[in-house]
Structure 1
Amino acid sequence: MPELSVGANSWAVPTGSNLLDALNDAGLNVPYSCRAGSCHACLVQCVAGQPHDASPQALAADKHAQGWRLACQCRVVENLHVALFDPQQDGVPARVCGLDWFGDVLRVRLIPERGLRYQAGQHVVVWNGPVARPYSLASLPGEDGYLEFHIDCQRPGAFCDKARGLQLGDSLRLGEVRGGALHYDPDWQARPLWLLAAGTGLAPLWGILREALRQGHQGEIRLLHIARDGAAHYLAQPLLQLEGVKVELVLAQQMDEALARLSLSSRQTIALVCGGAGSVERFARRLFIAGVPRGQVFADVFVEHA
């Protein structure tokens, strides 16, 4: 069996082991979200040896040449020594400038030490000490003077537990900005735009919605937010104040009835959906029944972490 090493620690793993699983099984807590090579949360650097990389094209050529790999896409096939992403050395410092609670949802606003280039709908890995999680950006580049994240703290978890103790002025670290499936395309301006979110899946859609309005979107805009209770409709007030947007706030137990009311007015409709795996699956199924072509449905699935 090949030997996997991190720093001074080495251990044997079965040939073909997924690198992300092998690292986390050893208690190293490498963050991840999608396991599909798109979020880039599980970035590691190969110091010696090479894994089998299923998605070498997922990284820029220069980063790949420097030995960086996405652990979720790699399998251990020979002795391998890797270095984990070091937020103190490689991360961007960011200061907490805003903390607001909406029920169990914590809105965190950060000012990075240096500017980050991003687009609405993208995400970034946020480090709070040794704990990291990828979070979607809810802020709008070029307008908001901060980076905004929405953290669901209903359930206990390593990152959520630490987030509850955040105070203004605290310093966090940020990894690289990555794009997922969610975005706004200027070519969509005349087309109906449906935004379907469950829980804090609203975060990236909040940024995308405002980007669409900023670019003068001409088609219908419809937003449906599913939440477990009234307090979890944490952006209700600013959403309902937007002109030209049809907003529907729905409790989780009424989700199926609300989805059944979706009626397609145009086959040109673009749908962006975000939330947990179960919610996204239900969104996608109903959109298919409603007649939205599969190629016009863009989804981002949030993964629950302990």
Structure 2
Amino acid sequence: MPELRVGERQWTVAPGSNLLDALNQNGVSVPYSCRAGSCHACLVKCVEGLPSDSRPDALSNEQRQQGWRLACQCQVVDDLQIETFDPLRDGLAAQVAASDWLSPSVLRLRLTSERPLRYQAGQHLVLWAGQVARPYSLASLPEEDRFLEFHLDCRQPGEFSDAARCLKIGDPIRLGELRGGALHYDPDWYTRPLWLLAAGTGLGPLFGILREALRQDHQGAIRVIHLAHDADEHYLAKPLQAMAASRPNLNIELWTAAELPAALAQLRLVSRQTLALVCGAPDSVDAFARRLYLAGLPRNQLLADVFLPRG
């Protein structure tokens, strides 16, 4: 039976046990979100021994050489000594610059870090409030903003969102790993039709990508669709409409859940050169993607970032 050791604690686990479960079920708290190897909230460092890893491609070669692994994707097969991610030691210090509500359920956090963070629109970052961590997509743009902006969906209770509600200007927060994500803007797209389809706070990263496209003077038609539960949750309606007022090639559409079936049925492609970026909860991303494929969009012209529920 392999032995698992963390600090002064040591115990025996069944061969093949999931590393994340083996840690959390024995009192070693390791945060997690997706359990799919995407969010990287469950990073741990192997000090001695190595687990069996089902997603070796999820981390860089440099990270793996340093011993980092995603606990949710690992199985304990031999004796293993682990160090958990310590946000004070391994993270980047930041503080809250602003906290305000954009809608009844969307909290906007703006953070400033102790040193500049190099990132691109569409990436996401693991945020630590004390010992609670969760990944969030960046809604800011490094070339234009002096802060890191995040849009938090607070409709449902959650450890991080509950902690975020209490944050005040000047409060400390730690930044974990920066992730690439599936969404980005490519300057080579500048003449092609660009569709940005977002559900809920999936609008956050697409807002950053839209700003990047406009910053690079995108010449093709840009169509932005935001799906919300109701009209009150179109939390960026005013800034989006203001941008469209000065950009003839930018069109903004605000859909509600009740309007979704009829709106999807009317969705038509003007050009097979269209590129579609989709972001939000799984059901919404699937609904958008299915309709786009039926409309004739080639599969390799759709990029999707799915906000997986914690589980």
Please indicate the TM-score interval, normalised by the length of the shorter structure.
Answer: over 0.9
Give the match for residue 39 of structure 2.
39
* 1:123-272 → structure 2 map (5 Å cutoff): 123-242=124-243, 243=247, 244-272=249-277
Q: CA deviation at 1:10?
A: 3.1
TM-score (norm 2): 0.93
Q: CA deviation at 1:36?
A: 4.0
Give the match for residue 10 of structure 1.
10
Structure 2 residue 306 is the aligned partner of structure 1 residue 305: no
Amino acid at match of 2:260: M
Question: What is the rounded CA distance, in whole Å, between the counterparts of 1:289 and 1:175 in structure 2?
Answer: 39
Question: What is the rounded CA distance, in whole Å, between the counterparts of 1:253 and 1:14 in structure 2?
Answer: 49
Give the gaps of 5 or more residues in structure 2: none
Q: CA deviation at 1:151?
A: 0.5
Q: CA deviation at 1:89?
A: 0.8
Is residue 193–residue 219 contact of structure 1 (8 Å, CA) maintained in 2? yes
Question: What is the rounded CA distance, in whole Å, between the counterparts of 1:168 and 1:224 in structure 2?
Answer: 32
Q: CA deviation at 1:190?
A: 1.1
Give the match for residue 55 of structure 1.
55
The sequence identity of aligned pairs, in percent, is 63
Q: CA deviation at 1:235?
A: 0.5
What is the RMSD computed on CA atoms of the aligned residues? 1.6
**Aligned-partner SS, 2:134:** strand
Give the match for residue 121 of structure 2.
120
Give the match for residue 69 of structure 2.
69
Give the match for residue 280 of structure 2.
275
Question: What is the rounded CA distance, in whole Å, between the counterparts of 1:25 and 1:246 in structure 2?
Answer: 50
Give the gaps of 5 or more residues in structure 1: none
Question: What is the rounded CA distance, in whole Å, between the counterparts of 2:91 and 2:216 in structure 1?
Answer: 32
Give the match for residue 89 of structure 2.
89
Q: Which moved more, 1:58-67 or 1:46-55?
A: 58-67
**Aligned-partner SS, 2:163:** helix
Is residue 34–residue 310 contact of structure 2 (8 Å, CA) maintained in 1? no
**Aligned-partner SS, 1:241:** helix
Q: CA deviation at 1:191?
A: 1.0
Amino acid at match of 1:246: N
Is residue 282–residue 307 contact of structure 2 (8 Å, CA) maintained in 1? yes
Find the partner of 1:286 among 279, 288, 291: 291
**Aligned-partner SS, 2:109:** strand
Question: What is the rounded CA distance, in whole Å, between the counterparts of 2:21 and 2:285 in structure 1?
Answer: 25
Give the match for residue 20 of structure 1.
20
Question: What is the rounded CA distance, in whole Å, between the counterparts of 1:81 and 1:154 in structure 2?
Answer: 39
Is residue 32–residue 134 contact of structure 1 (8 Å, CA) maintained in 2? no
Q: CA deviation at 1:4?
A: 2.3
Deviations 1:27-61 (A, max 9, x none): 54433344443433221100111101233343232
Question: What is the rounded CA distance, in whole Å, between the counterparts of 1:177 and 1:100 in structure 2?
Answer: 24
**Aligned-partner SS, 1:163:** helix
Question: What is the rounded CA distance, in whole Å, between the counterparts of 2:203 and 2:298 in structure 1?
Answer: 22
Question: What is the rounded CA distance, in whole Å, between the counterparts of 1:186 and 1:21 in structure 2?
Answer: 43
TM-score (norm 1): 0.95
Runs of 4+ in 1 over 6 A off after TM superposition: none
Amino acid at match of 1:72: C
Amino acid at match of 2:18: N
**Aligned-partner SS, 2:196:** strand
* Count of residues paired in the alignment: 306
Deviations 1:135-172 (A, max 9, x none): 00000011011000000111111111111111111110
Question: What is the rounded CA distance, in whole Å, between the counterparts of 1:220 and 1:230 in structure 2?
Answer: 25
Amino acid at match of 1:158: E
Deviations 1:251-274 (A, max 9, x none): 112112222221101111111111
Question: What is the rounded CA distance, in whole Å, between the counterparts of 2:237 and 2:28 in structure 1?
Answer: 39
Is residue 31–residue 134 contact of structure 1 (8 Å, CA) maintained in 2? no
Give the match for residue 106 of structure 1.
107
